[in-house]
Structure 1
Amino acid sequence: MATNRPPGDGSSSDNDSFGRQVPESVIEAQQLVRTHSKMERRKLLRYLGVGTVALAAGGAVLSQISREDPSAVAAAMNDLGDGLKMLGTNGALTVSWYAQGKDTMQHWCDIFGIELTWIDGQGDGNKQRASLDSAANRNWDLAGVTPATAGTIVDPVNTMAANGTGVFEMTSNIGGPDDRVNTLSSITQSSYLMGYQVGKLLFDSVGGRGTVINTRGVPGGSDEAGRYEGFHAALKEYPGMQLLTEDFARWDRSRAQDLWQSYLTRFPDISVAYCQNDDMAFGAMNAIDAAGRTGIKIGGADGMPDAIKAVQDGRMLATVRHSSCQIHSLPVILGVAWKLGALDGDIPPKIDVLGPVVQKDNAASVAFMQGPGVLYA
C-alpha cells in the first residue's frame, strides 16, 4: 500500500518526535493502522509480524507505531480476526492449568475479535467425544484441541480438518500410536525435561539418598508419559534413591490427597514427593500437613501462581513452568496469520515452547509473565 507522499520529502510527518527519518515500511504500517481496512488485514499482519503481535499483549507496544491515533491499534488488531469462529477444548477446567489455558485463549480471541466456543473435556474422553461429535460439522475457522484421553476424539477432529478448519493440537497427543490426525501443528513443551529437571533437584536436595513417591497424571497422554520417562531417567542417576510407589491421580488435587493420606500411613519414611503437576503437589502437601509430617521435599510441574508462591514461601522445593499461556495463545495468533495468508511458508508440524524451572530466584518473573493483562509465558 503506497503512502500519499514520497518518503523523505522533508515533511515533519516523515520524522519521529526526535527528528529521525521514519522508514517507509513504518509509514505504511501507520497508514494501515489508521484505516485498518479488512482488505488490508493480511498486509498489516505482515508489517507487524506475528512475533510483534504476540509480544504486544493486547496492543500496548503496537500503539507506538501510530503517532496520530494510538487507539486505532486496538481496533486494527480486533479487526484482524473479524468474523472468524474458533473452537477450543482441553482436559478439564477443574485442573488449574487447563483453566488458565481457556482464559488465555479467550483473552487472545477477544484481542483479535474472534468468536470462541469452549467445550470442557470434564476429564472424561467419552464426554468430550460426545460434545465434539455434535460440534464437528459446524463452521469453524480454527480449533485448539487437547484431549481428555488420547485416542478418543480422533474422528471429530479429522472431520473438522476435512471441513477446512485449521486444527492445532495442544500439549498432548490427540491420537494413539496408530492414529492419523490431521492438524496444522502440534504446540507442545518437553514433558521429559519437566520430569528430569525437577526430579534431579529433588534428589539433590536430600543428598541423593532417600525414598521417593511419584504421583502421575492421566495415563495414555504424551505429557504424562514424558514426565514419567524424564523422572525415571533422573532416578537412574541416583542409586541411593528408592522408589516406594507410583500411582495415577489424573492431574486431580483431591485424588492426589487421598492417595497421599494412604501413603503416609503405609510408609513411615518418605524423603521426596514428585508430582507430575502442581494441583497434585498441593493434594500431597495437604495430606502431609494434615498428618503433621515434616521434612518431605515436594516438587511439581506447570508453574501455576499458587505453586510459584509455595516455592517462594519454601513449601515447595521447585516446579517447572509448563507454559499454558503460550500453548493456548499460539493457536489464536498463528491461526489468524494462517487464515489471512500472512505467513511465509507452512506452519511447522511441531512447535516447541519453553518454560523454566521455577525456584526462589526466578519465581517473581515467571509469575509476572503469566499474570493478568500479560498471559504470555
Structure 2
Amino acid sequence: MTPQAPPSGGTPEPRQRTTVGTPVPEVVVEAQQLVKTHSSLGRRGLLKYLGVGTVALAAGGAVLSQLSTEDPQALASAMNDLGDGLTMLGTNGGLTVSWYAQGKDTMQHWCDIFGIELTWIDGQGDSNKQRASLDSAATRPWDLAGITPATAGTIVDPVNKIAAGGAGVFEMTSNIGGPDDTVDVLTSITQSSYEMGYQVAKLLFESVGGTGTVINTRGMPGGTDESGRYEGFHAALGEYPGMQLLAEDFARWDRSRSQELWQSYLTRFPNISVGYFQNDDMAFGALNAIDNAGRTGIKVGGADGMPDAISAVVDGRMLATARHSSCQIHSLPVILGVAWKLGAITTIPERVDVIGPVVTKNNSASVAFLQEAGVFYA
C-alpha cells in the first residue's frame, strides 16, 4: 500500500518494529504514526489519509493491538470506530437457508467491527412478508443497505425509497428488479452462478464417463442466481450427449422440499447416475432420501461450499461443490459502504464480482477456515 502524502502539520516518524522481532505491517505503522501525529483528524481524516485499505484492515483490530508497540488502544480505536453512528439495513432470501444465515452473520460481524448499527429483515422465503417489512423500513432514514430479494421484482419500490432517503444500497447476489425495472443501487455484488453450474455439472458428468442419467434440482425461480446456475448446468449438459436429463424441478433452496422430490425420483427412476443441486441444502435433502432408500452410486454435486458440504466432499458423500462466497457478498456492502460514506471512495463499478473456487479435498481446509466465525472472509 502507498499512503497519500500526510496532511500538513506533521511528518510520519521512522517505522517501528515490535520488540519481539515480528515485523509490523506497513499499513499498521502508518496508522500508528497517524494516530500519534494527526489524532485531531478524526475518523474521516484517518480514512482519507490511509485509504480504503484501512477499512478492510480494521477487521484485524485485535491482532493489530497485539502487534502494536505504541498506544495499541488508540490504534484499535482509530481503526475500529469508522462506522460509529452509521445505520445499516440488511435483508436476504430467508434464514432457514444456511447460505443466507451465514450471510446475515457475516454482515453482523463486520458491522460490529466498524460500530455500525445493523437492522436485519428476514425475507422468510416469502416475497410478500419481505415486501411488507421493507415498506415499513423505507419510512426511516438509513446510511447503508445490503439487499437480496426473496423474489426478483417484488421490492423495487421500497428499495428505491430507501435509496432516495440517502442510503447507499448494495444489491447482493441476485437482481432486485425485473427486466424492466430501474433500481437505484450503488453496485451489485455478485458471483458468476453460471460458472458454479457449469463447473460442478461438468465434474459430475466426467465422473460417470460422460454417459448416464441426471436430475437437476433447482432453487427459487426468478433470480439471477437460480437462472445462472440453470444456464451453466445446461451448457455443460450440451457438451455430453451421452447424459440423459430425467427431471428438473424447483425445490426453492429448501432441504425438505428437495428430500420430498427425491423420494419420488427414487421411486420413479431405477437408474440415476448424477444429481446436480443449485445449493448444498437441497443436496443434503436428497442425500437423506438416497440413504433412506438404500440407493448407492449416485454422484452428487452442489453449490455454496458451506462447511457441512465441504466435509461431505472430504468424506466422499458429495463429489463436488462450488464456493458461493456468502462472506464476501455480505461483507463488501459494509466495507465498501463505510469507505463510500466517509469519502474514501466516490465511485464504485456498476458490478463488483467476487470469486469462489470449486471445493476439492486439496483446498477444503482453506475454504472452510476462511468462512469460520471470526473470519467471515471468503
TM over 0.5, yes or no? yes
The aligned counterpart of 1:277 is 279
- CA–CA distance in structure 2, aligned partners of residues 240 and 150 of structure 1: 35
Q: Any conservation in 2 of the 1:151–1:175 contact (CA below 8 Å)? A: yes
The aligned counterpart of 1:311 is 313
Match of 1:161, SS state, is: helix
CA displacement 1:105-163 (0-9 Å, x = unmatched) = 00000000000000000001111000000111201000000000000000000001111
CA displacement 1:71-98 (0-9 Å, x = unmatched) = 3333223320010000000000000000
Quote how far apart the aligned CAs of 1:209 are.
Answer: 0.3
Taking structure 1 as reference, are residues 137 and 247 closer, same or farther at Cα in structure 2, changes over 3 Å only?
same
Query: TM-score, normalised on structure 1?
Result: 0.92
2:47 to 45, 48, 55: 45
CA displacement 1:311-351 (0-9 Å, x = unmatched) = 010000000000000000000000000010011x4011100
- The CA RMSD measured in Å over matched residues stands at 2.5
- Alignment-mate amino acid for residue 347 of structure 2: D
Q: Any conservation in 2 of the 1:58–1:111 contact (CA below 8 Å)? A: no
Structure 1: runs of 5 or more not aligned: none
- Alignment-mate amino acid for residue 287 of structure 1: A
- CA–CA distance in structure 2, aligned partners of residues 241 and 268 of structure 1: 16
The aligned counterpart of 2:292 is 290
Quote how far apart the aligned CAs of 1:3 are.
Answer: 8.5
The aligned counterpart of 1:190 is 192
The aligned counterpart of 1:356 is 357
Aligned pairs for 1:80-91 (under 5 A) are: 80-91=82-93
Q: Any conservation in 2 of the 1:2–1:28 contact (CA below 8 Å)? A: no
CA displacement 1:19-65 (0-9 Å, x = unmatched) = 9xx99997663244459968521232244443454256342454477
Taking structure 1 as reference, are residues 200 and 31 closer, same or farther at Cα in structure 2, changes over 3 Å only?
same
Question: How many residue pairs end up in the alignment?
Answer: 371
Taking structure 1 as reference, are residues 33 and 374 closer, same or farther at Cα in structure 2, changes over 3 Å only?
farther
The aligned counterpart of 2:348 is 347
- CA–CA distance in structure 1, aligned partners of residues 131 and 149 of structure 2: 9
Taking structure 1 as reference, are residues 53 and 209 closer, same or farther at Cα in structure 2, changes over 3 Å only?
same
- Alignment-mate amino acid for residue 335 of structure 2: I
Q: Any conservation in 2 of the 1:185–1:349 contact (CA below 8 Å)? A: yes
- Alignment-mate amino acid for residue 361 of structure 1: N
- CA–CA distance in structure 1, aligned partners of residues 227 and 266 of structure 2: 26
Quote how far apart the aligned CAs of 1:227 are.
Answer: 0.1
CA displacement 1:171-212 (0-9 Å, x = unmatched) = 000000000000000000000000000000000000000000
The aligned counterpart of 2:209 is 207
Among the aligned pairs, what percent are the same residue?
A: 80
Aligned pairs for 1:312-327 (under 5 A) are: 312-327=314-329
- CA–CA distance in structure 2, aligned partners of residues 211 and 76 of structure 1: 58
Taking structure 1 as reference, are residues 370 and 6 closer, same or farther at Cα in structure 2, changes over 3 Å only?
closer
Q: Any conservation in 1 of the 2:58–2:79 contact (CA below 8 Å)? A: no
The aligned counterpart of 2:233 is 231
Q: Any conservation in 2 of the 1:192–1:229 contact (CA below 8 Å)? A: yes
Q: Any conservation in 2 of the 1:36–1:79 contact (CA below 8 Å)? A: no
**Greater mean deviation of Cα atoms: 65-74 or 296-305:** 65-74
Query: TM-score, normalised on structure 2?
Result: 0.92
- CA–CA distance in structure 1, aligned partners of residues 83 and 233 of structure 2: 41
The aligned counterpart of 2:377 is 376
Taking structure 1 as reference, are residues 355 and 119 closer, same or farther at Cα in structure 2, changes over 3 Å only?
same
- CA–CA distance in structure 2, aligned partners of residues 146 and 5 of structure 1: 45
Match of 1:213, SS state, is: strand
The aligned counterpart of 1:120 is 122
- CA–CA distance in structure 1, aligned partners of residues 323 and 156 of structure 2: 28
Taking structure 1 as reference, are residues 70 and 24 closer, same or farther at Cα in structure 2, changes over 3 Å only?
closer
Q: Any conservation in 2 of the 1:38–1:80 contact (CA below 8 Å)? A: no
**Greater mean deviation of Cα atoms: 318-327 or 40-49:** 40-49
1:175 to 154, 174, 177: 177
1:102 to 78, 101, 104: 104
Taking structure 1 as reference, are residues 233 and 340 closer, same or farther at Cα in structure 2, changes over 3 Å only?
same
- CA–CA distance in structure 2, aligned partners of residues 122 and 296 of structure 1: 32
CA displacement 1:211-231 (0-9 Å, x = unmatched) = 000000000000000000000
- CA–CA distance in structure 2, aligned partners of residues 138 and 232 of structure 1: 44
Q: Any conservation in 2 of the 1:7–1:24 contact (CA below 8 Å)? A: no
Match of 1:351, SS state, is: strand
1:145 to 140, 147, 150: 147
- CA–CA distance in structure 2, aligned partners of residues 176 and 143 of structure 1: 19
Match of 1:81, SS state, is: coil
Taking structure 1 as reference, are residues 265 and 159 closer, same or farther at Cα in structure 2, changes over 3 Å only?
same
Match of 2:174, SS state, is: coil
- Alignment-mate amino acid for residue 373 of structure 1: G
Q: Any conservation in 1 of the 2:88–2:117 contact (CA below 8 Å)? A: yes
Taking structure 1 as reference, are residues 325 and 27 closer, same or farther at Cα in structure 2, changes over 3 Å only?
closer
